[in-house]
Amino acid sequence: MWPDRYKHFLDHRSGSRLYQVIAMNTVWSLTQQSEYVQLQYFNKNKHLPQVLGTCGHFYAVEYAPSGLLDPIFFDVTTSTNWRKRAHLALGVLDVLSSFEKDFPEPLYMCDIKGGQFGVARDGTVKVIDVDTVFLRSELEKQFDRTCTGHTDCDFFDCQAWCDLTTQQCQKKILNNNLQVVCAKIFKGNDLQRGLLSHSPHQWTVQLQKLLDHCANPTGDETDRRGVANVEDFYKLKRLLKVSML
């Protein structure tokens, strides 16, 4: 899990107690940073930034500028840059697919916003802030709490359910990454337009209907706790590809 240079450092400085202490303190300080540990643990996944090196308790990751998916970086009042926005949206869908399939259990992003995503030099969309990214079993521990209403069981964007009889949150996640991305990134709201706002006119009605269902699978406007289904995922992916032709 740790870079070979630490072993090399210790091997070549084995006669110096001072260097050993420095090296062990460095490793210890790095392991106390949950983001560093997660990036090292998931370092084979192309949708998470690679750790390039360390210096003391600091670490450097590959360059993937944040915020490129935030609508403020685009003129979303026109469809003239639609191809670029649709291409980035497809990149986000690739991230969601990877987080669902490429790990021992699904990864959940619990604080989804435009600034959480970046784009690497090769165009790959990456999640660059993993402080609120959890494996399902780890996330379920966050719901070990009492409650008097369903919102008491929310952990940022990740939502669970309150058993009003026992007043205990149920350790079952009731939404997923796709639902939150559709609602907060693709669709947007009254205060901030989404990445897929102002699509080409021939696709507007179909896309809006699809995003509405994806963002609110149950259709309940008072409590949008629901899992966006895989059919919506593939419909959205196909529609974006066709709209770019």
DSSP string covering 67-96, please?
TTTSGGGS-TTSSTTHHHHHHHHHHHHHHH
The ranges of the chain annotated as CATH 1.10.510.10 are 71-142+175-243
Please, which residues have CB within 8 angstroms of residue 213's CB and are 6 or more apart in sequence?
A: 228, 232
Phi, psi (5° rounding) for residue 69? -95, -5
Which token pair is 167? 């007043």
Quick: pLDDT tens for 139-176: 999 999 999 999 999 999 999 999 999 999 999 999 99
Which CATH number applies to 71-142+175-243: 3.40.47.10, 2.40.50.140, 1.10.510.10, 1.10.645.10?
1.10.510.10
Judge contact between 18 and 31, C-beta under 8 A. Answer: no
Residue 73: predicted pLDDT: 67
**Residue 220 confidence (pLDDT) above 60:** yes
Average pLDDT, the chain: 89
Quick: pLDDT tens for 120-141: 999 999 999 999 999 999 999 9
Confidence of residue 31 (pLDDT cuts 50, 70, 90): confident
Kindly report the pTM of this predicted structure.
0.87
User: Which burial class, exposed, middle or buried, applies to 77 when counting CB atoms under 10 A from its CB (0-12, 13-18, 19+)?
Assistant: exposed
